[in-house]
Chains A and B, each alone.
Chain A
């Protein structure tokens, strides 16, 4: 299976015509799984072609040494990625996600799918796929990270931000009443009257404003959101065993 991943890596680089920033992105997404020895994949990878080695080595000099893959998990994810990617395009499209039956039944499924696609993009490649899923990776709290490194995707703040953005579809930094209502409508379905939804949304917003002692605008800001989630153990909640 490891070779499949390597193949993908090579294809990826070939397709993108060795754009270094893409590679950095790729590497970056892999740093979300920092807990395994870095050498294994890189070594095999370097053997593949000298050209890539060149590029990689230049990258290696710049703080990318941390490339390391918790290989088994990543491989499993790649396996999954491939099985989702039925036509072997090397990237996923919305239809590929929608083909997952359970997901199409999920009330917030469309939002989840949407979260994989950065705005304006039609497809998602493996690195971005991994990057999104990295939010759900579980970490030990006591792992010490280098200060220089970027905050990992599964830090509490980034997780909250991720969830927040699922609500905040227009990305204006706050959950407006309409957005909240939309979510409620999706979750509660047709079972409730519009009036009930309204009153719940009203109350939620009012409560969030009150709790955070903040602006009395008609929306939930990120701070307010974070405040209302304080009691929820987000690190616990947003961890999937599989992604350990």
Chain B
């Protein structure tokens, strides 16, 4: 009890105190039942105990209320940990000042330390939370998959040479430099360190030398550094896995054996190639499988996202079976499957994948850091001043020398040279993390009597890099004025020009007869387009060029943003309603009926009775359809493809939004600004004559045509999806509200009410030849 209040009062912030209180309550919840169970912590025995208890119950009278904590112990504790992690993450972002000074990873480790200490106070044993098996099988994959799936391919490939150089040569250098010098130091010092051989030292070096992706991600995500540096450090941390795996296994083997031959060295090199390439191969294979599977999921959209996760996890596990680099497999799998999967699955499934990945990886990351803290408290430590300080110093020195030396070589080949600042950040960003700890944890006590000392040193290095470097890197980035990340928002122009440049450079390279980067990229693209895409992507999507896909994505994003921000005021009134229908906004029915109500009173001429009927029935059916729930398909899914087209149209309407004012002037409407649709509508309702310049009867048939026959290619496309009927309804519905601007060569006034558009259309029909002008609608309107 006193320790708790002490810790609580240490923080002045009330929120933090509250937060801690929450932890304690949670802990109490987890600890007291544990005490009651008073069993050993090993899960197998736990299960056995559960069995015997059940057995005992049968003899007694029927228990009305039984307590069987052992039965749920494991999942319960896991849930508690996850909950704790999530609450912590939540808490840190509630305290504004804290998260801007201290990186989350540091705070989480501190929390882990506190929790571990508390557990230790409450009872002797701390659960082996950062168990290597648990770490490598469950905690690590989500983070790596997240990294691989969202890997920025372009910068990654452009800098692949540099990244590989740092990852392979740099890590090797680090391992041997640290290992070798440590051995030397151990020999010089006159303590019991002299007993440590060269191989354990090298093993230690190979464990401690690898930059950790989890730590790098956690820190670099907060400092918003420019893309190049980010991908260099992050890419290195991902790709050095193969080197680490091989070195680790190599030295572990040899340390047990005690001898190394030249042959072993050669085998090690071969093994490295096998591990790295094998991992990539496994990953790519599963990636292609995932892509292929997703081709056929159009009828069961709900399980789509799962395939992405399952295949990548399988890739990881399969690679691990052969001691290949699981991390490389995951990266390859994620990177390979992403473009195809994105093209195949529905937009919602894609969002699901994105969210789920982010969620899993952030939980894993949080857990890892907390566990790191807990494990620190838990482990047996043997602190040796010389060894520990020398490891920290050597780590830093090796990193700096490695980066500077390698950059010197790399810069001879790079077009964009790495400046001194860049080198500094790369060197400084070499954080170590939980992977190193887990590898150290894996060492067997009977072969390595110095395991505890190793672990202590590893933890110290991790803490040093995460705390000291992690906390100071942000101010340093500011101080050095390192280029920050630019706004990621890409414009369509940029996309067009970038592609154009790609073609241009390929062409110029061809003229020069130089087969460089662009040439091979072009070749690959061609191959991809010609064969792979056809094979892996649902037929109608496979031909979609990248630019179009990008365009759709952008449109979609913008439309959703508009809807979410309630930015309907700028859009035509019909647009938000249609979009919201797609997005399953709660206000659906009223929103859909609104345009109808608005339209109906205005069509006061001959045929609109029919229109009204069609419209009404359609709306009703749509509404019914929306309410019905199907377990296996999400209701709005059938529209997915059509959706983007709808937005496309809406965008076009927005595009002419600015020309509208001229239009209104031309039409001699008193209303200048379309700011308030209701106002305008009222005005129009009171004075419809201002628009009725020409006899309208001639125009009515045109309206009908628009309604009845879906003439644009979009409408046809809409139909191929599942809910054909829905598609039709949607199309018709849209036919009235959306198609008008598409069909008219004059800019309409999206901000106006439906009747305005109708009227404009009618007038237009008289002055212009009809649908042939379909494509000219982009032309500026000149009165």
Are A and B physically bound partners?
yes
Q: A residues engaging B (CB < 8 A)?
A: 77, 80, 83-84, 97, 100, 102-103, 105-109, 111-112, 133, 136, 138, 140, 163, 166-167, 177, 180, 183-184, 187-189, 191-196, 198-204, 206-208, 211, 216, 218, 220, 225, 228-229, 231-233, 236-244
B493 A166 Cβ-Cβ under 8 A: no
Residue of A nearest to B486 (CB): A231
Contact of B652 among A84, A105, A199 (CB under 8 A): A199
Contact of B511 among A112, A177, A202 (CB under 8 A): A112
List, in ascending order, chain B residues with CB within 8 A of A229's CB: 493-494, 497
List, in ascending order, chain B residues with CB within 8 A of A106's CB: 503, 506-507, 510, 522
List, in ascending order, chain B residues with CB within 8 A of A108's CB: 500, 503-504, 507
List, in ascending order, chain B residues with CB within 8 A of A111's CB: 504
List, in ascending order, chain B residues with CB within 8 A of A194's CB: 775
B516 A241 Cβ-Cβ under 8 A: yes
Residue of B nearest to A135 (CB): B508
B506 A238 Cβ-Cβ under 8 A: no
B511 A97 Cβ-Cβ under 8 A: yes
Q: A192-B548, A236-B415 are in contact. Are A228 and B494 (CB under 8 A)?
A: yes
Contact of B493 among A189, A192, A208, A240 (CB under 8 A): A208
Bound form: Cα–Cα A203–B493 in Å: 9
List, in ascending order, chain A residues with CB within 8 A of B510's CB: 100, 102-103, 106
Of the listed stretches B177-185, B262-270, B320-328, B539-547, name the one at the interface; the rest are far from the partner chain. Answer: B539-547
List, in ascending order, chain B residues with CB within 8 A of A203's CB: 492, 551, 651, 655
B509 at the interface (CB under 8 A from A): yes
Number of interface residues of B (CB under 8 A): 51
B58 at the interface (CB under 8 A from A): no
- Nearest 5 A-B pairs (CB), nearest first? A228-B493, A242-B514, A112-B507, A102-B510, A108-B503
Bound form: Cα–Cα A61–B651 in Å: 62
Q: Interface readout for B485-509 with A: 1 if CB under 8 Å, 0 if not? A: 0110011111011111101111111
Bound form: Cα–Cα A200–B491 in Å: 11
Q: A189-B545, A202-B655 are in contact. Are A83 and B512 (CB under 8 A)?
A: no
B residues 413-437 with Cβ under 8 Å of A?
415-417
List, in ascending order, chain B residues with CB within 8 A of A133's CB: 508, 511-512
B47 at the interface (CB under 8 A from A): no
A163 B501 Cβ-Cβ under 8 A: yes
The minimal Cβ–Cβ distance linking A156 to chain B, given in whole angstroms, is: 13
Contact of A192 among B492, B545, B712 (CB under 8 A): B545
Knowing that A167-B500, A193-B713, A237-B498 are A-B contacts, what are 19 other residue pairs whose CB atoms are under 8 Å apart, sorted by A's residue number? A103-B511, A105-B526, A106-B507, A108-B504, A109-B507, A184-B547, A192-B548, A196-B551, A199-B651, A199-B652, A200-B496, A203-B655, A225-B497, A228-B494, A228-B497, A232-B494, A238-B505, A240-B514, A243-B512
Q: A106-B503, A191-B543, A240-B505 are in contact. Are A207 and B493 (CB under 8 A)?
A: yes
B548 A188 Cβ-Cβ under 8 A: yes
Residue of B nearest to A177 (CB): B778
B648 A184 Cβ-Cβ under 8 A: no
List, in ascending order, chain B residues with CB within 8 A of A77's CB: 512
Bound form: Cα–Cα A211–B491 in Å: 10
A237 B545 Cβ-Cβ under 8 A: no
B519 at the interface (CB under 8 A from A): yes
The minimal Cβ–Cβ distance linking A39 to chain B, given in whole angstroms, is: 26
B658 at the interface (CB under 8 A from A): yes
List, in ascending order, chain A residues with CB within 8 A of B648's CB: 196, 199
B544 A218 Cβ-Cβ under 8 A: no
List, in ascending order, chain B residues with CB within 8 A of A218's CB: 778-780
List, in ascending order, chain B residues with CB within 8 A of A231's CB: 486-487, 490, 494
The minimal Cβ–Cβ distance linking B641 to chain A, given in whole angstroms, is: 13
Residue of A nearest to B518 (CB): A240
A166 B492 Cβ-Cβ under 8 A: no
The minimal Cβ–Cβ distance linking A80 to chain B, given in whole angstroms, is: 5
User: Which of B417, B511, B548: most chain A CB closer than 10 A?
Assistant: B511
List, in ascending order, chain A residues with CB within 8 A of B517's CB: 241
Residue of B nearest to A184 (CB): B496
The minimal Cβ–Cβ distance linking B774 to chain A, given in whole angstroms, is: 8
B590 at the interface (CB under 8 A from A): no
List, in ascending order, chain B residues with CB within 8 A of A237's CB: 498, 501, 505
Bound form: Cα–Cα A207–B651 in Å: 12
Bound form: Cα–Cα A138–B548 in Å: 32
Bound form: Cα–Cα A218–B781 in Å: 11
Contact of A80 among B415, B487, B494, B512 (CB under 8 A): B512
List, in ascending order, chain A residues with CB within 8 A of B512's CB: 77, 80, 133, 240, 242-243
The minimal Cβ–Cβ distance linking A190 to chain B, given in whole angstroms, is: 9
A sample of 17 cross-chain residue pairs with beta-carbon separation below 8 angstroms, ordered by A number, consists of A80-B511, A103-B507, A103-B510, A108-B507, A112-B504, A112-B511, A163-B497, A166-B500, A187-B503, A188-B547, A192-B544, A192-B545, A196-B548, A203-B551, A231-B486, A240-B509, A242-B516
The minimal Cβ–Cβ distance linking B479 to chain A, given in whole angstroms, is: 22
List, in ascending order, chain A residues with CB within 8 A of B505's CB: 136, 237-238, 240
Q: A191-B544, A207-B492 are in contact. Are A136 and B506 (CB under 8 A)?
A: no
B513 at the interface (CB under 8 A from A): yes
Q: A102-B510, A200-B492 are in contact. Are A107 and B415 (CB under 8 A)?
A: no
B548 A80 Cβ-Cβ under 8 A: no
B516 A228 Cβ-Cβ under 8 A: no
The minimal Cβ–Cβ distance linking B59 to chain A, given in whole angstroms, is: 75
Bound form: Cα–Cα A187–B658 in Å: 29
User: Which of A103, A166, A200, A243: most chain B CB closer than 10 A?
Assistant: A200
Bound form: Cα–Cα A220–B493 in Å: 10
Residue of B nearest to A142 (CB): B417
List, in ascending order, chain B residues with CB within 8 A of A138's CB: 415
The minimal Cβ–Cβ distance linking A15 to chain B, given in whole angstroms, is: 23
Contact of A201 among B514, B526, B778 (CB under 8 A): B778
Residue of A nearest to B507 (CB): A112
Bound form: Cα–Cα A168–B165 in Å: 42
Q: Interface readout for B394-418 with A: 1 if CB under 8 Å, 0 if not? A: 0000000000000000000001110
Bound form: Cα–Cα A107–B416 in Å: 28
List, in ascending order, chain A residues with CB within 8 A of B506's CB: 102, 106
Q: A103-B507, A189-B545, A207-B491 are in contact. Are A202 and B778 (CB under 8 A)?
A: yes
Bound form: Cα–Cα A242–B516 in Å: 8
A187 B499 Cβ-Cβ under 8 A: yes
The minimal Cβ–Cβ distance linking A186 to chain B, given in whole angstroms, is: 9
List, in ascending order, chain B residues with CB within 8 A of A140's CB: 417
The minimal Cβ–Cβ distance linking A185 to chain B, given in whole angstroms, is: 11
Bound form: Cα–Cα A168–B551 in Å: 23
Contact of A195 among B494, B511, B713 (CB under 8 A): B713
List, in ascending order, chain A residues with CB within 8 A of B493's CB: 204, 207-208, 211, 220, 225, 228-229
Bound form: Cα–Cα A208–B499 in Å: 17
Bound form: Cα–Cα A188–B503 in Å: 12
List, in ascending order, chain A residues with CB within 8 A of B544's CB: 191-192
A195 B775 Cβ-Cβ under 8 A: yes
Bound form: Cα–Cα A200–B490 in Å: 14
Bound form: Cα–Cα A196–B544 in Å: 11
B511 A183 Cβ-Cβ under 8 A: no
The minimal Cβ–Cβ distance linking B226 to chain A, given in whole angstroms, is: 10
List, in ascending order, chain A residues with CB within 8 A of B511's CB: 80, 84, 97, 100, 103, 112, 133
List, in ascending order, chain B residues with CB within 8 A of A220's CB: 493
The minimal Cβ–Cβ distance linking A25 to chain B, given in whole angstroms, is: 20
List, in ascending order, chain B residues with CB within 8 A of A198's CB: 775, 778
Contact of A232 among B497, B658, B712 (CB under 8 A): B497
List, in ascending order, chain B residues with CB within 8 A of A97's CB: 511
List, in ascending order, chain B residues with CB within 8 A of A216's CB: 658
List, in ascending order, chain B residues with CB within 8 A of A228's CB: 491, 493-494, 497
B778 A232 Cβ-Cβ under 8 A: no
Bound form: Cα–Cα A233–B158 in Å: 13
Residue of B nearest to A234 (CB): B501
User: Which of B504, B510, B512, B648: most chain A CB closer than 10 A?
Assistant: B504
Bound form: Cα–Cα A12–B550 in Å: 49
Bound form: Cα–Cα A201–B417 in Å: 36
